[in-house]
Amino acid sequence: MVAQGSDARVGDVPSGPGLARRWWVTLPCLLAGTLLPVALADAVAVWHNWASRPDATLSRVIADFAPAVALWSGLPLLASLIAVLVTRREVTAWPRLATLAAAPSLVAMAVVGAVSGLSSHLFFLLDVPLAALLGVGGFLLVRLGVRRLVQQPGADTLDTGLDVRIPLHGTDHLLLRHDRLVVVEGTEKWAVSWYDFRTVRVGATSGVEVVATGGRHRMLRVDDASYVVAAIRQRAQWVRRHPRFAKRRDQHRRMHGARGTEAYRRARRPRTSHAPGTGLGPTGLIVLFMTVMPVAAVVLLVAAVNAPSADRPPMVIGVVASVVIGVWAHLRFWRRRAARRYLAAHTDDVH
């Protein structure tokens, strides 16, 4: 037994099945959930366009579609690959990345199916719900693989910086990230950067108390206090082992002041900090789509202008999809920037 309110080491986390066993499940799910919807969507789009053009050979249709498919499928897949590499520790973002990568191909499949169905075979109208099912299926498949890494964390994942999810009480849970600790209690989220984290201990009421700089603290209702405390401490040790951690922590505290601990409210994003080995972070993902999607829209527009009229609809929908995703990325970027400025100017208002 450990005395309540003490800072002594509390319990240990299990070693876990090992990263190799986890990745044997995660990697196939990630690849299949990302590539299969894109490949099936492109194949169905080409097939149905060929079926609606009886005078054209299949090889001709494939040659006509190849440049457009390379753009509306290749560029999003490339952006998604780069995003996964730069956010290699933020695995909880991968299902959304896979969905965004497949979205242009699925939209093109739905449009080609609708056009082919209205012009020749009504059966092809089923491409619209099929595209939606492929998108949902890919998302769920990637999420299934990610759960193998995130859930039931042990020393194998806590010592890597990968996102891990720890159950607290009921539906409440704790998300340990490479740069911060996030508490999710119902619809409320509360987070603290590892640069502002002080300690964690068993509270006086058998809960867990998280202590941060500026005298800030939060009590957590937990079912297994020993496991939660040990997991948080092991992740904190991993972060602090970085040789430049002390220097970056001092820079962070000078920049954000003594009250660097950050609280969440619903629909409000945290202010992110650069942490060891994190890559670009969430803002980097948005910047990637901000830059790649406009380029894709311009290239597709030029291709549509020079293409035969029968091949223009898929290219036009690719332009629209690229513009929509690019506009969404720009809106998210500027909203995040405005939120960071607001939090920097109103740190005392966030509790």
Same domain, 143 and 284: yes
Q: Does a structural domain hold residue 249?
A: yes
Q: Does a structural domain hold residue 349?
A: no
Same domain, 143 and 174: no
CA dist., res. 206 & res. 2, Å (int): 11
Q: What backbone phi and psi angles, to 5 degrees, belong to 82?
A: -65, -40
Same domain, 218 and 231: yes
Same domain, 48 and 137: yes
Same domain, 175 and 229: yes
Q: Is residue 165 classed as helix, strand or coil in its secondary structure?
A: strand
DSSP annotation string for 272-307: P---TT-TTHHHHHHHHHHHHHHHHHHHHHHHHHHS
Residue 334 has what pLDDT?
A: 66
Contact 29, 137 (CB under 8 A): no
The residue out of 232, 259, 276 marking a domain boundary is 276
Same domain, 223 and 136: no
Residue 237 lies in domain: 155-276
Residue 340 has what pLDDT?
A: 61
Same domain, 82 and 220: no
Q: Does a structural domain hold residue 23?
A: yes
Residue 46 has what pLDDT?
A: 80
- For residue 173, the cross-strand partners are 167, 184
Residue 257 has what pLDDT?
A: 55
Q: Does a structural domain hold residue 2?
A: no
Q: Is residue 177 classed as helix, strand or coil in its secondary structure?
A: coil
Q: Does a structural domain hold residue 351?
A: no
The one-digit pLDDT tens for each residue of the chain (351 residues) are 344 444 433 347 788 888 889 999 999 999 999 999 999 888 887 877 777 777 777 787 777 777 777 777 877 888 788 778 777 788 888 998 888 888 888 888 888 778 777 777 777 778 788 889 999 999 999 999 999 888 888 888 888 888 889 888 888 888 888 888 888 888 888 888 888 888 888 876 778 888 887 777 888 888 888 888 888 888 988 888 888 888 877 776 776 654 433 433 333 444 444 433 434 456 666 777 777 777 777 777 777 777 777 777 777 888 888 888 877 887 777 666 655 654 544 344 333
Task: Please name which of 35, 63, 61, 39 lies closest in space to residue 48, comparing C-alpha atoms.
Answer: 61
**How many structural domains compose the chain?**
2
- What CATH number corresponds to the domain at position 270? 2.30.29.30
Q: Does a structural domain hold residue 13?
A: no
Same domain, 171 and 247: yes
Residue 87 has what pLDDT?
A: 75
SS3 breakdown of the chain: % helix, strand, coil, rounded to 5? 65, 10, 25
Same domain, 139 and 43: yes
Same domain, 159 and 229: yes
The residue out of 255, 276, 297 marking a domain boundary is 276
Q: Is 266 exposed, middle or buried (0-12, 13-18, 19+ CB in 10 A)?
A: exposed
Q: Does a structural domain hold residue 5?
A: no
Q: Is residue 190 classed as helix, strand or coil in its secondary structure?
A: strand
Same domain, 208 and 96: no
- Please count the other Cβ atoms lying within 10 Å of the Cβ belonging to residue 60: 12
At position 210, the amino acid (one-letter code) is: V
Q: Does a structural domain hold residue 9?
A: no
Residue 34 has what pLDDT?
A: 92
CA dist., res. 202 & res. 153, Å (int): 20
Same domain, 195 and 115: no
CA dist., res. 61 & res. 78, Å (int): 24
The residue out of 226, 255, 276 marking a domain boundary is 276
